[in-house]
Structure 1
């Protein structure tokens, strides 16, 4: 039984199961509920139709959203008004807080409790096609004041499954554990999906024969196959825009953004394996990868390939790359430290990875994330990884850097020593200050393609350019979500999160934000329908099946759990609701309340 259920006494679970689509009752057990002081000091009178005793008035709900990240900020703003309309019918008032990206993230990761809900979205670089990153970020050990859990969500049943999927004895077992973790979280209504992410790219058919879009769409810095399989027709150069962050440093592992590290790892460098445009995993610099029966030894055989200066890519370079990245996981924000026992060079083209425990994300995530580094160049960074910068740039990828102007542009030319990708054109990546400048450059024929444009920009380009522009639309494996900041009231209560997820008009948001493109999301899941690791529908349930929302059902759910409304239709807590936080602000959850954690808040293993 959850902690909040203990706080209030018996909860009628029939309605909970009905609203969540009949997910197994065993999953109702969890260790993430409880309460925080979220009242506004109001009196605790009655006011419901049956004059039941009620608690404090539910305070104004604060929502932070990223206000300074271009198209995504616009999409958030366009949807929040519609969300507000539905939620206020529950007798709740909202305070929408524009917040810069860095501040909001800091508020979440320090458990600052500046808001009850945070509006987030996740890009979908190739590494996130493995489930580990977006599943592991919600584990209980990452919640609290010095964590990295964007919702500060803590549930031991979820956490146990999320850790276990890394050590699964087979891919089948791993998939079942991922399904179990995400099914538990969905029943807990751990996040509230608002609308999908739809990649819309535009290109000039007269300038480029577009290719390599597949299931990933025209989003070249997430899907590098657009660069590999598109061909400029009016020149020898494919011209597009780039995030200025990509050109700030050549020490790309220091970037906080996986969409910045991805082009360096897949264009200028190459990985051992790589997801193609249809999300299929392909060998790249690895000719083969053999895994022992116990999953502890992985033997990588390399293809014949060269770095941009002509040096052969050897097992020594592979060993150096993964030891260097792992040793500097505290400096490189998107790096992890897999449980390597050793990385040994067998011969010039064979390297053996021995693990102290099974680590299933190693191939898709780690091998697929990091391009192989030129050891003789990067060895100068050992002991100084965060400050290192290099020139010339010697990569292992299908493109080599011909010229780079920090913060301005990078010109790439083909590398004929790549074993897989045979490209015959140059690429010019140009940085722009804002989206308006990108669109203007495209309209002026200074760019051949642009990506991540919003519906209004698509309409503008269609109206002004006519047949000289074409578009590629594709739903992404991730979406836009509201993340409850779980330790505090009222969002710590499961039925409150469920009611929020039931109440708003998804169809209206979908039509306004995406003009109907993509699919409406009804389940509490970080993966959308296009993600290869999304659980089956019967493992997730739904907030509602009504695209226009179900305010009546949401109010009924709250009422059945002891909530009510005063004479002014203001929502009030149950009379016996414990509003104390799940853990004190400034601290971390510990084993005292979460048995999967030790006294310091570290994961203590399954129970």
Structure 2
């Protein structure tokens, strides 16, 4: 994709060099510390700017790298500029387009109108749940989730086998093979393994316990927090406003997931050890009757926020409603559902259309239980304009002042209640304002999890504590394989060589995270594979890789396709 008014490579390098976070880094960017290159390249620089110029193919197109505004996420903004700069050194003609986050997300995730993009992968309870959306061949149509445009029947088969396999050890083998396949093809390039971070004012709140999927913004975290002194309000922020109050109509961005996870119950919840915990779940017992049948015993003394009883009928309705209406947010889960039925006042049976090995993890912890009396007459549920959501979770809707603040209040009748009376998020784009508010107590926690200079400078303050744990999410650089050149694994691998992961960690992220090397985070424990193809941080290695694949350079140092 070439954008009108693109910036040429030489001009771009000049501009990028004056951008915050890029100055002083370009000299380090080619000095990678990861020398475990999986392709056997000798790392030599085979390009002198004219090699093969007498037999050039067509030039690679100008590539547009979409970037978030600096105010939204300063370190990621700077990292993207640095990566684009290194792509220019590799020989790509680069343009960087800065967009407001919502516009950027829509361009990539819905319209597929981009060449390179970078953000956090979504937090997920299971890596294949995420990958079966973003890397599955059938999902390449607009808005279906595979924004990379990656198609590989072998990867599809591994994901399919994983989902139906009931044996956990066999699933480990399958997901390890999937990781190797994806790291060989590189449809998505892991840049940095971002940790879960809890930064908070310890005079007001303490006891932050992480949960695998949503880190320090999880249900488990919220029900275990301990307020300090006289404080009764949990006070956070987000750099941009929420988009919807529809639990079935959001786009799975963290800013929405963090709210709905505590506003709605699911059948099962995980504790901090990643185990199903019926003490804090709607279901007090569960049984796998056979490969395609599950039964759940639910609490009979629980209610929705509007006072109506939550019954087995509501649970069965929810599963059938999401399945019958093909809700996009839960398309993976719905693909395995046949239907749900009420057995008795406290028992619900869920029937599957085909086996799903990790059903409880992928479905029972994910589908929000809906009040039938609120949703039964709503058509096209993902499009409903919900003004005041009604769930049954430990926090309930209080107010939404669009563009400025969102408030929840505790639901004291919940079986796993919270230790605070209210929670609000204020919309604060500037990191400096966030930290001044954290220090003076106007805010008491930082849910966005930024790793930036403000964190580095303030983390040792007496009233500030910072907790970090490995997370399931990472910064990715994802090329759009619909674009000429980016459909070639050799080009993608060369681009990955050019990404200065070590410099990004050390110089932009203050040494807090680790450089990324796999599409499944180490936070997933045994599901993560260490032994995958790895790539050196080296522009020179990337250039040699391109030349080995038949690409050539012109006198301006720009890459051309192999000559026909």
- Please state whether the residue corresponding to 2:162 is helix, strand or coil: helix
TM-score with structure 1 setting the length: 0.76
Structure 2: state its 5+ residue gaps: 1-35, 41-48
1:483 and 1:558 map into 2 onto residues whose CA distance is 19
How large is the RMSD of aligned CA atoms in angstroms? Answer: 3.2
Q: 2:6 is matched with which residue?
A: none
CA drift at 1:533: 6.7
- Please state whether the residue corresponding to 1:553 is helix, strand or coil: helix
1:212 and 1:381 map into 2 onto residues whose CA distance is 37
Deviations 1:548-592 (A, max 9, x none): x2233323222222223334443332223xxxxxxxxxxxxxxxx
- The answer to whether the 8 A contact 2:328-2:382 is kept is yes
- When residues 277 and 262 of structure 1 are mapped into structure 2, their CA distance, relative to the original with a 3 A threshold, is farther
Whether 2:500 is the aligned partner of 1:505: answer: yes
Q: 1:441 is matched with which residue?
A: 437
Deviations 1:212-271 (A, max 9, x none): 236679732xx2333211211222513222559887654332222353443454323221
- Please state whether the residue corresponding to 2:286 is helix, strand or coil: strand
Deviations 1:75-95 (A, max 9, x none): 222113432443333333322
- The answer to whether the 8 A contact 2:190-2:517 is kept is yes
- Please state whether the residue corresponding to 1:219 is helix, strand or coil: coil
- The answer to whether the 8 A contact 2:133-2:332 is kept is no
Selected match of 2:350 from 353, 358, 376? 353
Whether 2:521 is the aligned partner of 1:528: answer: yes
Q: 1:189 is matched with which residue?
A: 186
Selected match of 2:409 from 394, 409, 412? 412
- When residues 268 and 67 of structure 1 are mapped into structure 2, their CA distance, relative to the original with a 3 A threshold, is same
Number of aligned positions between the proteins: 514
Deviations 1:406-451 (A, max 9, x none): 4334241242341xx2434323213324244543432332222222
2:127 and 2:500 map into 1 onto residues whose CA distance is 31
CA drift at 1:542: 0.6
TM-score with structure 2 setting the length: 0.81
Selected match of 1:231 from 226, 232, 235? 226
Q: 1:397 is matched with which residue?
A: 393
- Please state whether the residue corresponding to 2:341 is helix, strand or coil: strand
Q: 1:163 is matched with which residue?
A: 160
Q: 1:477 is matched with which residue?
A: 472
Deviations 1:512-547 (A, max 9, x none): 221111211134x2x222134744122x21122xxx
Q: 1:561 is matched with which residue?
A: 549
Matches within 5 A, 1:189-228: 189-213=186-210, 219-220=216-217, 223-228=218-223
CA drift at 1:318: 0.8
Matches within 5 A, 1:58-457: 58-67=60-69, 70-71=72-73, 74-109=74-109, 115-124=114-123, 127-129=124-126, 131-145=128-142, 147-213=144-210, 219-220=216-217, 223-235=218-230, 237-243=232-238, 250-283=245-278, 284-293=281-290, 295-307=291-303, 308=305, 312-330=309-327, 336-360=333-357, 362-381=359-378, 386-387=383-384, 389=386, 394-401=390-397, 403-407=398-402, 408-418=405-415, 421-436=416-431, 437-451=433-447, 452-457=449-454
- The answer to whether the 8 A contact 1:203-1:470 is kept is yes
2:429 and 2:186 map into 1 onto residues whose CA distance is 36
Structure 1: state its 5+ residue gaps: 1-17, 23-45, 577-607
2:186 and 2:258 map into 1 onto residues whose CA distance is 35
Moved over 6 A (4+): 214-218, 244-248
2:260 and 2:551 map into 1 onto residues whose CA distance is 52
2:117 and 2:221 map into 1 onto residues whose CA distance is 33
